[in-house]
Amino acid sequence: MRLRPYIPDRDFDVIKYWITDERTHALWCGDRAEYPLARGSFDFFLREIAANNGDTPFVALNDFGRPMGFFCISVSTETNEAMLKFVVVDPIRRGKGVGREMLSLAVKYAFEIAGAESLRLCVFSGNVPAIRCYEAVGFTIQSTDTAAFDFGIEKWDRCHMIKYKTTEGEQRQ
């Protein structure tokens, strides 16, 4: 697996099929992007979060250059923290280690290339497979916002997770 920047002309037509229903969409982006995904609105959304937060979209590719995952990452030079957002994996590859491998590369990018000291993300508490995947690469839940998001009649809690940069042999909590 390798990472490269997201290229709309090459990647959108693959990624748009990964968000298969409104619930998956809400779990993925908290309804910050339009559903269903449309090229023009998604391009606008990515430009907007790049301008506002410095987010850079990436895709994870298989050995044949086909996208298997997507995420955005931003780094604050003021706080030396990175933020991981909008993580999604091709549904036919979920549960097969692809997410864990992609996240490991995202962590490596944040710490070794971008020079961040910590990497944060948010995930809804009901998205147990995602939480387990994040925990498998070393993220821990730092706090939870109760009833932070409304999905129909449901109220979802938002978990804030963090992973700290460590040196070899060092454990940081």
The pLDDT-based confidence of 172 (bands split at 50, 70, 90) is: low
Q: Tell me which residue has tokens 């959108």.
A: 12
List the domains of the chain with CATH numbers.
2-118 (3.40.630.30)
Which amino acid would we find at residue 127?
N
The pLDDT tens digits for 141-154 are: 999 999 999 999 99
Reply yes or no on whether the pLDDT at 170 is more than 80. Answer: no
Which tens digits make up the pLDDT trace of 77-109?
999 999 999 999 999 999 999 999 999 999 999
Q: Answer whether 85's CB lies under 8 Å from 55's CB.
A: yes
DSSP character at residue 33? S
Share of the chain above pLDDT 90, in %: 95
Q: What is the DSSP letter of 155?
A: E
Element (H, E) at 73: strand 67-76
Residues 41/78, Cβ–Cβ less than 8 Å = no
Would you state the pLDDT for residue 169?
47
> Average of pLDDT values for 9-31?
96
What pLDDT score was predicted for residue 92? 96
